[in-house]
Chain A
Amino acid sequence: MTKNNKLIPLMGAPERNPGLTRREMLVRTAVGGGLMVGFALPGLDKLGQAQAATATSNLTAWITIGSDETVTLLVPITEMGQGTMTGLATLVADQLQVDWSKIKVQHAPVDAAHGGANANIYGFRFTGGSLGIRLTAQMLQQTAANARQMLINTAALKWGVSPSACAIRSVQDPVLGTITQVYCITGTTTYTASYGSLAGAAAAGTAVTNAALLSGGKYAGATASPPRVDIPDKITGAAKFGIDIWAPGMLFAAVKHCPTNGGTVGSVGSTPAGAVAVVKVGGNGASTATGVVAVAATTWDAMKAVKALAVNWTLPIDAASRDTAAITSRANTLMASGSALTAQSTGSVAAGMLATGAVAISSTYQLPYLAHAALEPLNCTVRYTPATASTPARCEVWAPTQAPDSVLATATSMCPAGAVVTVVNTLVGSGFGRKFEMDFIVEALQVGLACPGKLVKLTWPREQDFSNDQFRPMALTRVTAAATPDGTITAWNNRIVTPSIANQRSSSPTTPPTSVDSEAVHGAVSRSGYADAGLPYNVPNSLVEWVWHDAPIRVGYWRSVGMSFNTFAVECAIDELAAAIHMDPFTFRQKNLAETRLGPVLSALRTLSNWDTTPAAGRARGVAIAAGFGSFIGQVAEISVNATTGAVTVYRVSAVLDCGTAMHRDAIKGQIEGAVAQALSPTLWAQQTFVNGVAQATNYNRYRPAKLQDMPQVAVQIIEGGGLGGVGELGMPCVAPAIANAYARLAAQGQLVAGLPITRKRSLPFFPGTTLGGL
């Protein structure tokens, strides 16, 4: 059973939003990083790149066909586990009608032909926002159709027949297995030629730009997904991540930053034994360096040397405000009296609160900073070759990056004028948003430039990776809302205190910001103004406010970004409202849905999660829903709480999602399973905290990830509601509120969750179901 794949809808290209979206911020940041210019890639080493098939021909910028009949797709999306390489390959295999065994996928070269406006409509090649498939599927599907037509035209020309007399078919080759050939019929004669035999002439022939798409392929959207293209190398050790760049005689480097967040390098002691060089890095030059790097014969030697290196750090004057207790206290002050920017205002909240029979709740939720904790530590490899009388300087960069165009721009701006800059986009050992940043790239370039002629790999020791993250922002968020006993939400006030990623990224930040950071309210405001995500409910009387928190801790994009805290607050508050009017949480959600595609999701989830059956003794279920990344999801968690220890056990998470056309069902399922696992950690155990600027979680032993033994059963059901939505971040936002809502339903606890990780408890002045005279 296959699905018609002919329509990759135009709506896959996300709509522009009136606010400054994350994507636009990404683009602005990249452009702000320097002029992006394309470079040819003369003699780019194959280091870190997959071997190409012999005698390959570039039919389009994105597709090469080898004499061995393999088709290689070059993708402008970084593979970091999400499966985009495989998802995109299904479209190409279907348009070329090539057997899956002949499909190979690599990251595209980082150059003008595969970056900027050629990479996507934003004019900046990046991986994030759950946009990989949405930004590139249509383009790559079309380019594959074009390649097919070029092969057909080439065959027709060869035999002097009309292309309409030609078609393609699969045949069995005794050596190569299933291959695809063009066949042309004229009179009683049938000519045949394989793709591989035609590819050279086709590449040299006339390009086709708008070939008709084939429908009804075998792979895209298939019920039984084809196997992932990246797995064979990942089970043999052959897969090369950024950290695996290696050549004999290369050098290795390790960094340390000021233990106090925001500190800079004062004076540095003598070069320790075992190090061949010490380099100040970060900042805008040596005077404001934020770290020191030791370069040595191995990473171990470099780590030992940098540890031994004496540094007089200059502490930031605001060290005392880089402190979790101070930040929390400041957040409470801002919640009470900070000036807010209005993200959404409809009707009258005051009037809604006073609606006849309305019952009100008011709940405040506190969420901490989170680390990305990607298992491949930050790293980057550079080789700077100075110019000679006859050759220009060369800067070569190998980067596990989510933003290859930014790496190219950064390297171009840092390397000597006129240097030939090449960037290789390696595999990424998980990123979650952290590998979008340039800090580790800048440091590696500084080290490489200080070691001319040498290949040097900079690795951040794990402790540096945890302590110097660009963290998921903390948030303090309060929902005050009311509903009438018939289940109608009559008032909705959400006040969100959180730092601004956009403001910190800006090259000219406004303090305080004068416009709403769309990520700060991501998932908390209705979708009319924010096409990619929205508050799922009708709230005719609403006020959603953002109060900027001025904490100086660096923040960044973390899987699902603002929805990671906003969906938590919204979905916990919705459950509290439902409880206050004694209504079933599913029914209450259904009744107030603004996002109509969540209706079928909720219905299917009710069945999948066995919602209407009684859980085993001591267990409870909780539900949460979200509209985000162009997709829709609902999740139910079934949990118990140990009465003695308070430890939460999660038995099962049921998830129903509508991501529109499901390109590769197994990868989608994997993304939801993985998001559940990743979300368990900050829901139940992990957070980053600071004491006088010093990060307290410095390794996985102090930042507990889920392990195999913690993993609940995960059931995933996919609904295809049309269009094309994102999946990478979709599974994240609902896990914590579903667990928290289950926690609240366990009568023995009798307390709601007031924040994450879920250890905190509170008693509420308004709970349960206190009728208010007005607010």
Chain B
Amino acid sequence: MASTLTLNVNGLNYTATVSDPSMPLLWVLRDVLGLTGTKYGCGIEVCGACTVLINGQREHSCVYDVSSAVGQQIVTIEGLSADADGQKVQKAWTDKQVPQCGYCQPGMMMVCTGSIKAGHHGNEIASDMNHICMCGTYPRIKAAIQGL
């Protein structure tokens, strides 16, 4: 049954009406709020394209019930430029010219940012980045995270 929720995304409060409180956060972000930077890739937590930060932790929004996100601090790719760690990641991605098609990169950058927030560096970040990039930008991602 429909419910109206308040979500804090990138520091702003949004009101969202959803058909079902178990709707994954991904679809609320994309279809209800129009925050389309977070991507749908597999829907089963394999590809990582839907990754967002919830209270600084990496989460797959494709399986994260929106009701569980109420009252939490959600950060998406659209909020990365306002985050100090996110800015570092953006600079590294630019310096190494990482993206090709760019579809997986929001998820890649969110998991990288979350990994930094978890205190990880270099190879520790690399082991956190278990995501799919069909363009194969992995060599550049590896290079980009070396300095982080």
- In A13-40, the 8 Å CB interface with B consists of none
Contact B141 A230 (CB under 8 A): no
Nearest Cβ distance between residue B130 and chain A, in whole angstroms?
6
Taking the complex as formed, is B41 at the interface, i.e. its CB lies under 8 A from any CB of chain A? yes
**Contacts of A374-433 to chain B: CB distance below 8 A:** 374-377, 427-430, 432
Which B residues touch A674, using CB under 8 A?
100, 135-137
Residue of A234, A246, A298, A670 touching B19 (CB-CB under 8 A): A298
CB-CB contacts of A678-697 with B at 8 A, as 1s and 0s?
A: 10000000000000000000
A707 touches B131 (CB 8 A): yes
Chain A residues 56-90 with CB under 8 Å of chain B are 79-83
Please indicate the chain B residues that have their CB under 8 angstroms from the CB of A428 in the complex.
101
Interface size on A, residues (CB 8 A): 64
> Known: A81-B101, A375-B132. Contact between A706 and B138, CB under 8 A?
yes
Contact of B97 with A670 in the complex, beta carbons under 8 Å: yes
A673 in the interface (beta carbon within 8 A): yes
Alpha-carbon distance between A300 and B20 when the two chains are bound, in angstroms = 10
Residues of chain B lying within 8 A (CB to CB) of residue A148: none
Given A299-B30, A427-B102, A670-B137 contact (CB < 8 Å) = yes
Is the C-beta of A1 less than 8 angstroms from some C-beta in chain B?
no
A206 interface residue per 8 A CB criterion: no
With beta carbons under 8 angstroms apart, the residue of B34, B38, B81, B103 that contacts A429 is: B103
Residues of A contacting B28 in the complex (Cβ-Cβ under 8 angstroms) = 298
Is A441's beta carbon under 8 Å from chain B?
Answer: no
Give the residue of B20, B80, B136, B138 whose beta carbon is less than 8 angstroms from that of A236.
B80
Within A215-235, which residues are at the interface with B (CB < 8 Å)?
Answer: 227-228, 230-235
Stretch from A172-180, A237-245, A513-521 forming part of the interface with B: A237-245
- Determine if B39 and A246 form an interchain contact, defined as CB atoms under 8 angstroms apart: no
Determine if B43 is an interface residue (Cβ-Cβ < 8 Å): yes
Q: Tell me whether A701 and B46 are in contact in the complex, defined as CB-CB below 8 angstroms, given that A81-B102, A237-B77, A274-B19 are known contacts.
A: yes
The complex places the Cα of A673 from the Cα of B133 at a distance, in Å, of 12
* Residue A748 CB within 8 A of the other chain: no
Are A429 and B101 CB-contacts (below 8 A) given A298-B31, A708-B142?
yes
Contact A670 B31 (CB under 8 A): no
A376 adjacent to B101 (CB under 8 Å): yes
Q: Are A231 and B99 in contact (CB under 8 A)?
A: yes
Q: How far is the CB of A226 from chain B (nearest CB, A)?
A: 10
User: Do B109 and A666 have beta carbons less than 8 Å apart?
Assistant: no
B24 contacts A by Cβ under 8 Å: yes
Instruction: Tell me the minimal C-beta distance from A699 to chain B in angstroms.
Output: 5
Structural contact, B81 and A227, CB atoms closer than 8 A: no
Q: Are B97 and A228 in contact (CB under 8 A)?
A: yes
Q: How far is the CA of A701 from the CA of B130 in the complex (A)?
A: 13
The residue of chain A having its C-beta at the shortest distance from the C-beta of B130 within the complex is: A707
Contact check, B136 vs A706: say whether CB atoms are below 8 A apart: yes
Given A299-B40, A677-B136, A430 and B101 touching (CB < 8 A)? yes
Tell me if B44 and A701 are in contact (CB < 8 A). yes
Would B129 and A252 count as touching, CB distance under 8 A? Answer: no
Q: Is A236 a contact partner of B90 (Cβ separation < 8 A)?
A: yes
Residues of A within 8 Å of B42, CB to CB, are: 462, 699-701
B139 with A300: CB separation less than 8 A: no
B-side interface residues, number (CB < 8 Å): 60
B101 touches A246 (CB 8 A): no
A563 touches B (CB below 8 Å) = no
Interface contact A237-B132, CB-CB below 8 Å: no
**Interface hits, A638-685 → B, CB 8 Å:** 666, 670, 673-678
User: In whole angstroms, what is the CA distance A90 to B20 when docked?
Assistant: 50
Contacts of B38 in A (CB 8 A): 237
Q: Does B148 contact A (CB under 8 A)?
A: no
Contact check, A673 vs B34: say whether CB atoms are below 8 A apart: no
Is A298 a contact of B23 with CB atoms below 8 Å?
Answer: yes
Contacts of B94 in A (CB 8 A): 227, 231-232, 235
Interface string of B85-111 (1 = CB under 8 A from A): 000001001100111111111100100
* B76 proximal to A (CB < 8 A): yes
Q: Which residues of the other chain, A, contact B39 by a CB distance below 8 angstroms?
A: 243, 375-376, 429
B133 → chain A, closest Cβ, in Å?
A: 7
**Nearest residue, chain B, Cβ from A244:** B36
Are B129's CB and A239's CB within 8 A?
no
Q: Is the CB of A375 within 8 A of B130?
A: no
- Given the known interface contacts A299-B40, A375-B41, A375-B104, the answer about A235 and B99 at a Cβ–Cβ threshold of 8 Å is yes
Query: With A298-B18, A427-B102, A708-B141 known to touch, is A246 a contact of B44 (CB < 8 Å)?
Result: no
**Complexed CA–CA distance, A228 and B95 (Å):** 11
Closest to A711 in B: B138
Distance between Cα atoms of A554 and B20 in the complex (Å): 37
CB neighbours of B23 from chain A (8 A): 298, 300-301
Q: B139 to A236, Cβ gap below 8 A?
A: no
Within 8 A of A (CB), among B104-144: 104-106, 109, 126-127, 129-142
Q: Are A240 and B36 in contact (CB under 8 A)?
A: yes
- Interface CB pairs A-B, < 8 A, 8: A235-B90, A237-B37, A298-B31, A375-B104, A462-B44, A700-B132, A707-B130, A707-B138
Beyond A238-B37, A708-B130: 7 further Cβ-contacts under 8 Å? A237-B106, A300-B27, A373-B134, A375-B132, A670-B100, A700-B47, A700-B132
The 10 closest A-B pairs by CB, nearest first: A237-B37, A677-B136, A429-B103, A81-B101, A81-B100, A234-B102, A674-B136, A237-B77, A244-B36, A300-B27
